[in-house]
Structure formats: structure tokens, C-alpha cells
Amino acid sequence: MTTAPGTEVRYQSAELADVLQDVACSVLVSTYQAGQVVAVGVADEQLHLAFRRFDRAMGVAVGPGALAVGGKDQVWLLRDTPGLAPQLPPAARFDRCWLPRSSVVTGPIACHEVAWGRADDGEPDLWVVNTRFSCLAGLDDRHSFVPRWRPPFVSALAPEDRCHLNGVAMRDGRPAFVTVMARSDEAGGWRASRNETGTVLDVGSGEAVTSGLAMPHSPRWHDGRLLVLNSGFGRLEQVDVASGRREVVAALPGYARGLAVHGHLAFVGLSRIRETAVFGGSPIAAYHEQLRCGVGVVDLRTGATVATLQFENGVEEIFDVQVVPDTRCPTFGDDEVWVLPGPS
């Protein structure tokens, strides 16, 4: 698969096509290092990957008729064009197609996850994890962003990445939990001991639900339980909200970041890690040669990995993973695809 002129991405998979067909969904994967969002579906009983470039693609959110992608200095909004998808060549291969329609320029806020919720009037409402300003934010056409919530220990709104707020779990259309790498109120203060200070916060109270994680990401509320990635250990864990105790659901061969849950399956993004100020010294770094980049699919009932997607080259890091229900083979079209109004 080619992502750009001269760049061929090779991948291998075990059982993923069968799993996607069995549970009637497809998957979106973002990689900021390669600047791509990848739609993973099934055509002719084989995996099909479609790529669309977004500079520093981070969080991805699937909403009613729309797709949001957090990128460098802006958040992209793509519209679903269901009537167009089957017409794209080869005919009848695709059953969903998103096309970019607008973006909101935020400036350098280090947007991480994005998530669709519901406003008071029932309309879709996009929440943005604004990592640089240590807050959850909304968007409008007048401001770079609209601050909505920040941890109670962060004393002021400032572009200082004080706690590395990076993930949000939605419940009933509103943010319920967030992940931070440390409860710090100093510029870049989370970096000091990031392997022991990761915390899940309750948005309603601002209090810690559980702490002592190594660089956590991707909290998710699903079927009455809280899941989180203890990324530095490469683990998917379940959190007892009442006690803060955590149970390891599965250990995976990569820096775990990006989580989507569909029924009894968890789709977990896996990254090879770089020796940098952020990743260097993480617990999983000791297994560097064994780490993989791609997606692992975990059966939440047993903790077993039942399918995998592994990128062999071209993609080293995954940021987000999202499931697209009731979709067999999605795509993004290309710059030579136009949508026009009907006859007047």
C-alpha cells in the first residue's frame, strides 16, 4: 500500500479480516509520525487499507455523519458521503466515504484525543483534549478554542503542558474521565517521574480514580466499566472506580496507545518506541526488539489476543484507534473526488 509517492507500506495480519466480518465493523487508525489516518476494512474477504494524509494526525472521532481528526494546529472535519462511496472505483467496493470539508485552526495546542458528545439541545458536540493548555476544550469559529474544564490542581490556563492531559472517556455524551501523566502544576512538570505518576481523573469531582500508572492513555467507559491503557507497560487494564484497584486484562507487544471497544472486543494501538525524552526509560523499552507497531484485538472475556495488524515498515507509531460500526470497507476518496449540489 502506498501512502505517498515513493513510500510503500507493507503490513501483515492474522485473523483480522475474519474478526471484522464477524462483528460487522471496520477500524480507523491514526499515526502522527507518518501523518496518516488509515481506514481498515474488508473487500473480497481480504483486508483493505485506505490512507489519507493529515499533518500530524492524532485523535479521531466518529460521529453522526461526520469524522473529526486532530492534526497539527487544526482540527479537521470530514463529512460522510454514503451515496458516493459505492461509485468510487472499483465499483461497489466501498460502503462509506469521508471527504474533508472544513477545519478549525487552533494554533499549536498539541491536540491529542477528540471525542463527540451531545450538547444540551441534543446536537453533536466535539470535545478536544488540549494538551498544551492542560484542559478540555470546545471549538467555534471565533476563537482558537473554548476552554471547558481543567484539572483542579492546574492553577491557570497557560501553554505549558503542565500535566500532559492526553485522553478522555465519554459517558452519556459528556466527558467522564481523563488521563494525565502527572498531577503537576509546573510547566512540563509531568516529565520528572512519568513512569510512576500517571493518573486517571474523574471529571465531575476532579479527584484521582487511580494513580501510579506509567504514561497512561485512552481511557474508555464501556458497558459499565472503565478501561485504560497503562502504556509504558504495554497493558490494557480495567479500573475499579470505587476502590481504584486495577486488573490487567491483557499485555501486548508494544507501547499501548489508542483504544476502541466494540462488543466484547478491544482494539488496541501498538507502537514501537523511540529513544527520546518522552519514551526513553519507559518500562517496556527493555523489550525494544520485541515491540510491534499496529493493532492488537483483545477478547475482553478472556484477555486473549484474537487478531493482529502489524505494519512492517513506513509506520512506527500509532496514536488513536476507532471502530466504525456497520461498515464493511470505508475510504476517504482523494483530491480528484468532488461532491456537487443536485440540479436546481
pLDDT tens per residue across span 108-151: 999 999 999 999 998 999 999 999 999 999 999 999 999 999 99
Q: Does domain 10-331 bear CATH number 1.10.10.60?
A: no
Question: Residue 2 pLDDT > 80, yes or no?
Answer: no
- pLDDT at res. 344: 53
Q: Which residue has the higher pLDDT, 273 or 185?
A: 185
Average pLDDT over residues 262-289: 80
- Determine the Cα–Cα distance for residues 318 and 308; give it in Å rounded to an integer: 14
Question: Residue 279 pLDDT > 70, yes or no?
Answer: no
Question: Residue 4 pLDDT > 80, yes or no?
Answer: no
Question: Residue 283 pLDDT > 90, yes or no?
Answer: no
- Determine the Cα–Cα distance for residues 43 and 55; give it in Å rounded to an integer: 28
Q: Which residue has the higher pLDDT, 340 or 309?
A: 309
Question: Residue 5 pLDDT > 50, yes or no?
Answer: no
Q: How confident is the model at residue 14 (pLDDT cuts 50, 70, 90)?
A: confident
Question: Residue 3 pLDDT > 80, yes or no?
Answer: no
- pLDDT at res. 7: 62
Average pLDDT over residues 23-32: 97
**What is the per-residue pLDDT across 214-273, written as a single tens digit (0 to 9) for each?**
999 999 999 999 999 999 999 999 999 999 999 999 999 999 999 999 999 999 999 987
- pLDDT at res. 115: 98
- Determine the Cα–Cα distance for residues 1 and 211; give it in Å rounded to an integer: 41
Question: Residue 302 pLDDT > 70, yes or no?
Answer: yes
Q: How confident is the model at residue 284 (pLDDT cuts 50, 70, 90)?
A: confident
- pLDDT at res. 335: 74
- pLDDT at res. 337: 73
Q: How confident is the model at residue 275 (pLDDT cuts 50, 70, 90)?
A: low
Average pLDDT over residues 303-311: 97
Average pLDDT over residues 161-167: 98
- Determine the Cα–Cα distance for residues 276 and 124; give it in Å rounded to an integer: 38
**DSSP output for 171-223:** ETTEEEEEEES----STTGGGTTTTT-EEEEETTT--EEEEEESS-EEEEEET
The SS3 of residue 225 is strand
Q: Calculate what percentage of the chain has a pLDDT beyond 70.
A: 95
- pLDDT at res. 314: 84
The mean pLDDT of the chain is 93
Lowest-pLDDT range, 22-36, 235-249, 268-282, 313-327? 268-282
**What is the per-residue pLDDT across 55-85, written as a single tens digit (0 to 9) for each?**
999 999 999 999 999 999 999 999 999 889 9
- Determine the Cα–Cα distance for residues 218 and 47; give it in Å rounded to an integer: 25
Whole-prediction pTM: 0.94
Which backbone phi and psi does 303 adopt, to 5 degrees?
80, 0
Closest CA to 270 of 62, 29, 61: 29
- Determine the Cα–Cα distance for residues 117 and 63; give it in Å rounded to an integer: 9
Closest CA to 13 of 321, 331, 311: 311
Closest CA to 184 of 175, 174, 194: 194
